[in-house]
A and B are shown apart, each in its own frame.
Chain A
Amino acid sequence: MDTPADRSFDVEDYLRLDLFPHFLCPGCGHGIALRALLWAIHELDIDKNRLAFVSGIGCSGRLSAYIDADTFHVTHGRPLAFASGLKLARPEMNVIVITGDGDCLAIGGNHLIHACRRNLDITCLMLNNEVYGMTGGQGSPTTSVNRYTTTTPLGNHEPAFDACELAAAAGAGLVGREVTMQVPTMKDLIKQGISHPGFSFIEIISDCTEIYGRKNDLGSSAEMVLSQKKDILPTYIDVAEVNAVDQPFRPGSWQTGVLAKNDRQEYYKAYLDYCKQANPPGHGETHGR
């Protein structure tokens, strides 16, 4: 165990401090999400040496480098594909994907829906700031209607994806959403996602103050986060009772908490069962080494 024996949470125990200061802009919500993620890992008491993070390209993609674990910063949109291979080669590892709205829903959209369908035990944390921040503030699949970005200079005319509805419809094992205002709740949601034996999709409503907020007069980071909280509708459904992919969604607001849960068989377990047909008992090797 490389995890500290003292059980009080110190985020620095989980960071590569020699890489600091980090590159995030002042007011960015991604750091809050990272803290909640590491807090969740701490509370779950997961050995750092059993943790692999896979991230794509964009502001979210750079977060993996700051985590003291096995970290993989891969190609744009493909972290779920890389993570699927990694998890199947090292099933004993906890594999967590950190991605963004452009990485996950635009260029990586196909991988997301099939990761949901397969239900391989990966936790996918999508940081949604409604914009391509790294490339200078272009519109993304989650940019709200009428918002200004460098590629929607007249106000966005495209509808935005509801990523959670998409993930739930595609069959993800667990789907949830939280805003950065509510860090303990976010931590608890991420804990549920990591603990769920299957594919979990968690959307964090982050804020891009410097680029998106500035261009749309959304105020300071604090004001952006407060307005996000104002817009949420927390769900108080009993998780144990939920086994559906068609939870009702109310438009015009962010529904937060666990939004869908689906206890289908996990992909790798299903694959091992499938392989038993090729390997009668007592024959063949054990996979995973």
Chain B
Amino acid sequence: MSKPRQNLQGNRACALGAIAAGCRFYAGYPITPSSEIAESMASELPRVGGVFIQMEDEIASMGAVIGASMGGAKAMTATSGPGFSLKQENLGYAAGAEVPCVIINVMRGGPSTGMPTRPAQGEVMQARWGTHSDHPIIVLTPASVREVFDQTVRAFNLSERYRVPVVVLVDEVVGHLIETVALPDSDEVETTSRKWADGAREDFKPYEIPEDGIPVMARPGQGYRSHTTGLTHDATGFPTQEPGQVEQVMTRLLTKLDQHRDDIEQAETLHTEDAEVLVIGFGIVGRAALSAVNQARDLGIRAGMLRPITLWPFPERTLRSIAANTAAVVVAEMNAGQLCLEVERLCPDTVAVIPLNRIDGEPIEPRQILAAIEAAAGSMTNSKPTSTKQL
């Protein structure tokens, strides 16, 4: 028997994904266009024995989420542009102290208050580098209602497995999109929980590094009586400024995701095996790219698509292997050109990287991408393609 299908909004799918992943604590603050996530969590969590709390501000929401996670709960918050900025300091605490947590950012136009109800993708770099100093982080970007559900589940699993904050960048368009979907039953959803310390207290060091690079956590109340701090700390969890130790713990923190990139990176590709022109776009832009690439193929142009689902760490090897055989890469994004910087860094000099940007509060349309593909393919027969940057 087929699963029941329902008309579901992206933001609500996010909340349902969180519940399915085992999230039992939500702290948030109202902000457009993410508020339906808080509203859904407010109605869902009391049903499953979880806690919903509306905090006094965005900063407190992030703090409460980290506090709940340190207490052992799978915890999440959701916000948008200005709120995402306010969360950055505590997000850095979660990265440094290695406290699992999930942050949903339903992106709106900016800077500042910007356009609260209009779509944009301006937080590509902020999601990676928004909190001060070097830090590990994972950023996921779903493109459909069903994928919002799945990637929210995955955000919790990655966060728990690697003790790292995971940001989910949801396009306003996707957050407010209503699609007909069939969700998996709860027993079909694969969930992971962090490893808890279970050995003797005397032997326990909260930041001692096992082979997989991810320390185990001590659950408060279990007698470990350990210390957690945002100060740079050694294996004991207490602060250190000894250069040798600092270098060692910082290197481990900053490289801990490297050996797990196969698990973390995810991307959708289409016609990349023989693509002359590759289109890169994430979230809702990926769906426009899919349509444009199919149209280009109908016109006889060897176009392909790479849609990063994991935005950070960027799926480097996937792009490098495709770019080795392609002539031009169109990077379509709803900002003034952020992801294209990473793509330029990864592509060989022989590849023309062509930014396609939209910053007027409207989504990028398939015809815009198709035009960019045609221009790139056309100029290939003449000379090197030129930028179609539309500012």
Q: Is B221 an interface residue (CB 8 A)?
A: yes
A104-B369 Cα distance, complex, nearest whole Å: 52
> A73-B231, A74-B230, A78-B59 known; A86 and B223 CB under 8 Å?
no
Q: Determine whether the beta carbon of B90 is less than 8 Å from that of A78.
A: yes
Stretch at the interface among B45-53, B174-182, B272-280, B294-302: B45-53
Closest residue to A57 on the B side, CB-wise? B230
Q: Determine whether the beta carbon of B60 is less than 8 Å from that of A49.
A: no
Stretch at the interface among B67-75, B146-154, B325-333, B339-347: B67-75
Cβ of A113: which chain B residues have Cβ within 8 Å of it? 56
A72-B90 Cα distance, complex, nearest whole Å: 13
Instruction: State which residues 1-36 of B face A: CB under 8 Å.
Output: 24-25, 27
B156 CB → nearest A CB, Å: 15
What 1/0 mask marks residues of chain A from 17 to 61 whose CB sits below 8 Å from any chain B CB? 001000000000000000000000000000011101010000000
A-B contact count (CB 8 A): 153
Cβ of B63: which chain A residues have Cβ within 8 Å of it? 74-75, 78, 81-82, 84-85, 111
Option from B66, B73, B225 in Cβ contact (under 8 Å) with A82? B66
A105-B62 Cα distance, complex, nearest whole Å: 19
Q: Determine whether the beta carbon of A86 is less than 8 Å from that of B47.
A: no
Most buried by A among B64, B73, B93, B239: B64
Option from B46, B68, B90, B225 in Cβ contact (under 8 Å) with A89? B68
Q: Is A245 an interface residue (CB 8 A)?
A: no
Stretch at the interface among A196-204, A212-220, A235-243, A271-279: A271-279
A49-B90 Cα distance, complex, nearest whole Å: 26
Q: Determine whether the beta carbon of B225 is less than 8 Å from that of A48.
A: yes
Cβ of B72: which chain A residues have Cβ within 8 Å of it? 89-90
Q: Determine whether the beta carbon of B93 is less than 8 Å from that of A75.
A: yes
Cβ of B218: which chain A residues have Cβ within 8 Å of it? 70
Q: Is A88 an interface residue (CB 8 A)?
A: yes
Instruction: State which residues 181-240 of A face B: CB under 8 Å.
Output: none
| Band of interface residues on B | 35 or more
Closest residue to B65 on the A side, CB-wise? A85
Q: Is B224 an interface residue (CB 8 A)?
A: yes
Cβ of A8: which chain B residues have Cβ within 8 Å of it? none
Q: Determine whether the beta carbon of A274 is less than 8 Å from that of B59.
A: no
A73 CB → nearest B CB, Å: 4
B177 CB → nearest A CB, Å: 28
Instruction: State which residues 278-297 of B face A: CB under 8 Å.
Output: none
> A88-B53, A278-B47 known; A71 and B227 CB under 8 Å?
yes
What 1/0 mask marks residues of chain B from 86 to 97 whose CB sits below 8 Å from any chain A CB? 000110010000
> A19-B238, A74-B230 known; A81 and B55 CB under 8 Å?
yes
Q: Is A166 an interface residue (CB 8 A)?
A: no
Option from A81, A114, A274, A275 in Cβ contact (under 8 Å) with B67? A81
Option from B66, B230, B238 in Cβ contact (under 8 Å) with A85? B66
Q: Determine whether the beta carbon of B225 is less than 8 Å from that of A81.
A: no
A245 CB → nearest B CB, Å: 19
Q: Determine whether the beta carbon of A86 is less than 8 Å from that of B71.
A: yes
A269 CB → nearest B CB, Å: 13
Q: Determine whether the beta carbon of B59 is less than 8 Å from that of A81.
A: yes
Q: Determine whether the beta carbon of A90 is less than 8 Å from that of B46.
A: no
Cβ of A278: which chain B residues have Cβ within 8 Å of it? 43, 46-47
Q: Is A98 an interface residue (CB 8 A)?
A: no
B residues sitting closer than 8 Å to A (CB atoms) are 24-25, 27, 43, 46-51, 53, 55-57, 59-73, 75, 89-90, 93, 218, 220-231, 238-239
A residues sitting closer than 8 Å to B (CB atoms) are 2, 16, 19, 48-50, 52, 54, 64-65, 68-75, 78, 80-90, 92-93, 110-111, 113-114, 271, 274-275, 277-279, 284-287
- The contact sample of 26 A-B pairs, CB cut-off 8 A, is A2-B223, A19-B238, A49-B223, A52-B220, A65-B239, A70-B220, A70-B221, A71-B226, A72-B70, A74-B230, A78-B90, A81-B55, A81-B63, A85-B27, A85-B69, A87-B67, A88-B64, A89-B67, A90-B221, A93-B221, A111-B63, A114-B56, A279-B47, A285-B48, A287-B24, A287-B49
New A-B contacts (9) at CB < 8 Å, excluding given A75-B89, A81-B60, A93-B71: A2-B225, A49-B222, A54-B67, A73-B231, A85-B70, A85-B75, A87-B67, A89-B70, A111-B56
